[in-house]
Structure 1
Amino acid sequence: MLQFFVVFMLFISVPPVACSGAANGSSTLTEGQELSGADRLVSKNGKFALGFFTSGSSKSSSDNTTLPNWYLGIWFNNIPKFTHVWIANREKPITGPNFRLSKLRISRDGNLVILNHATRSIIWSSQIIVVNGRRTGNKKTYVMAALSDNGNLVIRDASNTSVVQWQSFDHPTDVFLPGAKVGRNKVTGQKYSLVSKKNQINPAPGLYCVELDPTGGRQYFGKLCNSSIVYFSTGEWNGRYFNLVPESSSTNFFHIQFIENDEEEYFTYTPSDPTL
């Protein structure tokens, strides 16, 4: 079972220890502001950055030329090797000249969007469900987006920052950061699952998922994303460790928790050393 635990732990990413540096950009994006080109949001502690980056390429359908693929993502800001931890548009890369025309901004309905200014088309959206009364008549509720010190991109009510409209921790990609979730929302049915990337170059969703046991068990399943085939299980969480993976007991490096309330149930973890 040790090998299963090793596979499971590959999805967990404790930030590497690095010397902190001064943030070279704001940590927030407000309505009316835009992020494009080499612009960056940088968390206040300097550990994380958000911006556009390139990985891999695509063939142009018009002239068969090779064009770089651009993505909006979050990465570790203070380590030499570029390592992304979250990608917004992993299923829809921006190619060629469209990159120069694409900007991240807050739309009029309060969503965070990647917008192609030339075509006025939306490449990616946070897809917040606009509730009744959010934007009515002349009354407008302003929102802001902020890159938190733990790498979580959060959209908040600008006048009451305790109100979270959306967060990237509810939409993980292939990296399990401290404080993020793997589980589900009981109300909406949304899964917080980890999905592998296709390969080291192409960050599009791959074949493998890690998710909470859909039958209600307090355990992780590693499975093929589009099937019921489970290739590993951690066994039930007993409050201290997964019973098929006793090596998962909280260590000097991290502390695992299972959280359950009326709205959600999920696993999360925190580093034992809060400075990591």
Structure 2
Amino acid sequence: MSVENESADPADPAWSPLKHFGSEVQLERERLGMKRAALGKAANCGYSLVAKVETGERVPTLEFAQACDRMFPHSNGRFVRLWPLALRYAFPPWFRAYVELEEKATSVRMFHPQLVPGLVQTEGYARAVLRTGRPTNLDDLVTARIERQRILTREKPTRLWLVLNEVVLRNVVGTKDVMRAQLAHLRDLAENPAHRVQIIRDNGKHHGWASPFSLLSFSEGADVVHVDGFPKGYVLAETDDVASAQDAYDLLKAMAAPPDETAELIDSITKDCYS
């Protein structure tokens, strides 16, 4: 069951976690006689964004929630605690269960044949990818995608192992400026001791895997597989499916160039394609 209730009144603050978050912000701000511009300044955003958060039209960032806790006396961290629920509302209902698993994972192994996965996209790259679907809530989708990435930089980060086809780095998404920034971000990840990035060089032969997928591991419990697809992705937990995905991922890693060659390869492609 999703958090939406089509028979409910959208003006009701209890209609969704997003509406509830915004209603609480407006209540506390008005109680203090604070202008939206003042809250916006504290949260490094504009008046209009504060207004849209308060009416449940925009998903808040973590920084916005932290600013609310700083500015509103006696909040005791309430807005940071509400924030994950509000953020989750920005994802399609079918994707929310995966996001919860991703947040709990100790390691994520990802493969994508055509695009940089959302978990490691820059804001510019994410916006260019998501815009192609002509969504009405593009800003919220971008915010949600970027906020997911906090699992890679938190105090105990989720360890990432990423395998990409070389064509992913050469296919222009957005502009050359967008691609330069995206490749620089991938290079930083490749040089981060906590993570691994490998590239399958383009030698003119197809390696046999066309579907993006991820393997998630946890401190307790068995691994699961997420398969990306259209119109919806899906999670597999059956032992045979997980074993097949693990075998496929091992083969992909074996086909890819070693991790210590990734930075040099990214530098070469950046020079050749985006200088």
TM-score (norm 1): 0.26
Q: Which has the higher strand share?
A: 1
Q: Which has the higher helix share?
A: 2
TM-score (norm 2): 0.26
Query: Highest CA radius of gyration, 1 or 2?
Result: 2
